[in-house]
Amino acid sequence: METEIIRGVLISIIVAAGVGYVVHRLRQPVILGYIIAGIIIGPELGLKWVTDPDAIEFSSELGLIALMFMVGLELDLRKIKRSGKELLIVAVAQFALCVALGLAFFNLPGFNDSGKYAVVYLSITFALSSTMIVVKILYDKFELDTLPGRITLGVLVLQDIWAILFLTVQPDLADPQVTTIGFSLVKVAALVVGCLVVSRFILPYVFKTVAKTPELVMILALGWCFLVAWGSGDKAELSRAMGALIAGVSISSFPYSHEIKDRVTSIRSFFLILFFVSLGMKVQEPSLHIFLMALLASAFLIASRFVSLSPLLYFMKKGIRVSFLVPLNLAQISEFALVIVSLGMAYGHINENVMTIVLFTLMMTAAGSTYMMTYSHRLYLMADKALKAVGIKDVGGKEETEAGAEEEAPRPIFFLGFYRIASALLGALERQDPEIAKKITVVDFNPEVYRKLNQRGARCVFGDIANSGVLHEAGIEGARVILSTIPDTILKGTTNLQLLTFAKAANPKARVIVTAESVEMAKRLWDAGADFVILPHVEASEKTAALLNQLLKEEVIPETCVEYRRRITEQCKDTL
């Protein structure tokens, strides 16, 4: 038996590495590679290199426990409290509407014959999106800190809460009596309270004693994880996954949580590979019927995201862009769904058909979502054109500005987009001249920036700076100084060089300031006619070099450091 386990793990890791590399080169999530590797080596559809999936079952369960522990560590309850009422409304509405739509859709023939609770499982799992995929792509596109990115992440965090609540009652679905479910909730509540009490009064002192030895911090954290998982699964008769998640949440606010996450990640990754490989090995040979069901379910999932989110965000005055990008970002099924369905099969609530539908939907939507998110700006431009053609207005449209619509004189300062550098620059200008905002025009498609800048006296035009028509309407021809302070890695649909070329053509007399991320690019911009090029890393390095020499010569902290800290602290309230 030991030989079979080692052989199964060895084959799983080697094939998963090879297929994962190919999938990564195709710019797809590697989780797809792990599932495909399981299908390839498995006894059902594959080459039967591993004939007994139970050979890696124990290792895959460790991966599941590690995954749930990491989810708990990243679920900071304090961030949820600070997320704001609007985000909570969006997150609650998204889940509730998606589940309601799912209960109606999955009652169609073909879905509701895969087990007594198939409709419930499909409705819940199809309301969840993939944190792993979404965060990776938004991070690569530098969009985590944009308005659509922040709303997307907030919805994902709340989705984890809904999944946790379902895991709480999941063991008792076969006997959904009020007393049975109530007793389970009492057990979960007792487990949560017990863990929070221990994490509040005992664990801080224990962790403090080993804080200087990172290896012991990790071992202690893993020990806590498996202790709570054991108590939850073997004593409280809930599930080990639930216990691991509660263990993670209970120490998520510890100052050592980042260190724990960094060190547990490598261990988790190893066992998690085996978890996804084992799921792939269990996939039954799909009939054409099952494949078509998965294809239909994928289309439903994407449609449900737009139905549940776009109208709400639009009526909350977030604009067409945000109303389109947030559901687009969430248009895939979560890896959390695999956990829920895997446990559902273990409880006997559903059969293999549900797992196959969810797995194939994950592969379809993960692949499709990767490309949709990569080309989200192009898709948004097409959607924006179509929606405006049928009369749907955007934030800052004519209907919002007709009240005081007399033509105003062009303003001398013209910002092409408004992000971190522009925000800090406006604060600095306002300290020199409190009335400077009345001389500024900004073009940006962030609805929060639009409202706040107009409140401060600046003229903010809601639109895409890649659209020349918007820039003409905003009055770029009348500006004396035109600024683009956003680097090319963040700009969408245009570059600083293209903006410079257009600005010089539209207003030859204006002084144009643009931003570069390398000296080579700065030279190209100067050659193209830029009057000044912002090089943030050069400016920072020169000032830091001067400060470093000062720190080496003086024994006390230089006054420049103290003054800089005071000035930055005061400026925080001025930035958007």
Q: How far is Cα 506 from Cα 271, in angstroms, rounded to an integer? A: 58
Per DSSP, the residues of 498-530 read HHHHHHHHH-TTSEEEEE-SSHHHHHHHHHTT-
- Predicted confidence at residue 406, as pLDDT, reads 45
- The H or E element spanning position 413 is strand 413-416
Is there a contact between 257 and 199 (Cβ–Cβ < 8 Å)? no
Q: pLDDT 10s digit of each residue in the chain, 576 long?
A: 567 778 888 888 899 999 989 988 887 888 888 888 988 888 777 788 887 666 666 767 777 787 788 778 777 666 666 667 788 889 999 999 999 999 999 998 878 777 678 999 999 999 999 887 888 788 777 777 778 888 898 898 888 888 888 887 887 777 666 677 777 778 888 888 898 899 888 888 888 888 777 788 888 888 999 999 998 888 877 778 888 888 888 888 777 677 777 777 777 777 778 888 887 887 777 778 888 999 999 999 999 999 999 999 999 888 888 899 999 999 999 888 888 898 888 888 888 888 889 989 988 998 888 889 888 888 988 888 898 888 888 775 544 443 333 456 788 999 999 988 898 888 888 888 888 999 999 998 888 888 888 888 899 888 888 888 788 888 899 999 999 999 988 888 889 999 999 999 999 999 999 999 889 999 999 999 999 999 988 878 877 887 888 778 777 777 777 777 777 776 655 555
Q: List, in sequence order, the alpha helices (H) in 282-395.
A: 288-315, 319-329, 335-347, 352-374, 376-389
- Predicted confidence at residue 408, as pLDDT, reads 65
Q: How far is Cα 381 from Cα 325, in angstroms, rounded to an integer? A: 11
Q: How far is Cα 474 from Cα 469, in angstroms, rounded to an integer? A: 9
Q: How far is Cα 409 from Cα 475, in angstroms, rounded to an integer? A: 9
Whose CA is closest to 240, among 54, 59, 117, 66?
66
Is there a contact between 71 and 272 (Cβ–Cβ < 8 Å)? no
Number of H helices, E strands in the chain: 26, 6
- The H or E element spanning position 481 is strand 481-483
Q: What is the pTM of this model?
A: 0.75
Q: How far is Cα 368 from Cα 160, in angstroms, rounded to an integer? A: 22
- Predicted confidence at residue 536, as pLDDT, reads 86
Backbone torsion region of residue 213, taken as left when φ is above 0, otherwise alpha when ψ lies between -120 and 50, otherwise beta: beta
- Predicted confidence at residue 50, as pLDDT, reads 80
Give all domains of the chain, ordered by start, each with its CATH number. Answer: 7-383 (1.20.1530.20), 409-574 (3.40.50.720)
- Predicted confidence at residue 31, as pLDDT, reads 83
